[in-house]
Structure 1
């Protein structure tokens, strides 16, 4: 039975842990899930950019999904990311995820081909019409070179299962444009870690996070404080967090955030080729950011006092 997706709160874009011999590390994956559930996250997204979607085999995505569903025990929704080049592949992946028990989907525009507005809307509509699952559109023109505009969302609003948007345009005014155009028709989830507090204060319903994979308690504290109107307290943690959050907006965000999750004991730095683990000066620089933050990390007692 599917869990209802509220599209509110913190949804980690999960890392995919690998072993030294390039197999899925499901025990470590489950350890991370438990740490995030203990912190109070509201849902999970499997196989996104941080999850190394481009290198995962379809059966591996299903293995991750089934592992997450077993850990979550229907307490929070588990979503699968759809990032494919061909429409029929996207439909097949959506249907496979639905059959395997996914509670919802995050849907990217066509990969590699820079589709125009008509093609992009047709792509989204076709996938949505072939599944009953609720869908969040990932709007990230910065990385994927396709902007889903207000006019395009006006067309997508006709499909009831297209329900939410991961707002990653890096243009905070787009949150207000979407609210002015659609009110509450679409739930909005901030998708850029370095703009997360701003997005929440401007009216986003939730936060699809990256550094939450390494720092779930801190992420949850910012979200809860922002929603409670305790902006000064949220800002104090956010300012501490910012050097770490900036790891999320680098081309090597996967390697950087995996190194952070390893440092906090809930991940490893193994990645899948063509990515390679960090070495030399670059690794030292990232570790310096992580270790400097860890030395000044808010105490668990302080974070718990916000609940």
Structure 2
């Protein structure tokens, strides 16, 4: 498993009646691949996993693996409250042909450090798939500390970290402690270039769903040491990237996909599509971004 590069946390596409729109989903996937992304992540927050049925998650995983056909890794996100459910999805992902897992700490219950470590180890020991720990204490209220990662290093298939603590120095902190034992991927769009410069090797991205070429260009330019060129694109991108750090990121990013012609704004309740002043404000950000899109 190569964790380096741009990994879109893709949205799930729906018809107006709420059913899965697989044709539109595949259209977006194809555009991601054509733009040079390095992997696909299913079932994250952007994927509206919490409102998908078990059958729909299985369908999305199976059909994505089939459609991608080995071109890039397909990663399934696990966000469960019960250890047995997390283990179920780890085994199911392996059965369906996924390449790896991204996993959050236990949902809903505020587990302590011992419980979180035990949870992650139980899932890791249930599968041969490589795993990425999603460390996001801001949104999910559980911090996976450096000392906790020292215990998790015992599991060889825990290989990567989606770094979403909002603390850029945590990249350096982890590298100082573990060297290259864990691959670090930035999980916050507005900090991506900064964390890539500090040693992160990948970007789990959100606005990539609508703007994959620009996202990949920033990543590639940083890798090539062309910092001025990357910074110019990043400065254009920032107002759009800030749509990723809002509770309505799903609605905002889906609206951006709609305006870019590679998605729709349909969401599942309790989410609702945007209206009124909020819609006008977000559309202006999106349309201004499209109008002023940099030449790559």
TM-score normalised to structure 2 length: 0.99
Q: 1:165 is matched with which residue?
A: 161
1:40 correspondence with 2:36: yes
Matched residue of 1:138: which SS? strand
* 2:140 alignment partner, one of 138, 144, 164: 144
1:192-232 deviation per Cα after TM superposition (whole angstroms, max 9, x unaligned): 00000001000001100000000000000000001111000
1:90-138 deviation per Cα after TM superposition (whole angstroms, max 9, x unaligned): 1111111111111100001000111110010001000111111000000
Q: 1:210 is matched with which residue?
A: 206
Note if contact 1:141-1:147 (Cα within 8 Å) is conserved in structure 2: yes
Q: 1:153 is matched with which residue?
A: 149
Matched residue of 1:137: which SS? strand
Matched residue of 2:281: which SS? helix
* 1:221 alignment partner, one of 217, 221, 226: 217
Distance in 2 (alpha carbons) for counterparts of 1:259 and 1:175: 32
Matched residue of 1:110: which SS? coil
* 1:231 alignment partner, one of 223, 227, 233: 227
Q: 2:172 is matched with which residue?
A: 176
1:98 correspondence with 2:97: no
Distance in 2 (alpha carbons) for counterparts of 1:173 and 1:151: 16
Matched residue of 1:21: which SS? coil
* 2:78 alignment partner, one of 70, 79, 82: 82
Pairwise mapping of residues 222-301 of structure 1 onto structure 2 (< 5 A)?
Answer: 222-299=218-295
1:150-202 deviation per Cα after TM superposition (whole angstroms, max 9, x unaligned): 00000000000000000000000100010000000000000000000001000
1:256-297 deviation per Cα after TM superposition (whole angstroms, max 9, x unaligned): 000000010011000011101111111110000001111101
Distance in 2 (alpha carbons) for counterparts of 1:230 and 1:66: 38
Note if contact 1:11-1:208 (Cα within 8 Å) is conserved in structure 2: yes
* 1:51 alignment partner, one of 47, 50, 63: 47
Alignment RMSD, CA only? 0.6
Q: 1:124 is matched with which residue?
A: 120
TM-score normalised to structure 1 length: 0.95
1:28 correspondence with 2:24: yes
Q: 1:197 is matched with which residue?
A: 193
The size of the alignment, in residue pairs, is 296
Distance in 1 (alpha carbons) for counterparts of 2:70 and 2:171: 31
Cα distance, 1:71 vs. partner?
2.1
Distance in 1 (alpha carbons) for counterparts of 2:55 and 2:213: 31
Matched residue of 1:269: which SS? coil
Which ranges of 4 or more aligned residues in structure 1 deviate by more than 6 Å? none
Matched residue of 2:7: which SS? strand
Cα distance, 1:70 vs. partner?
2.1
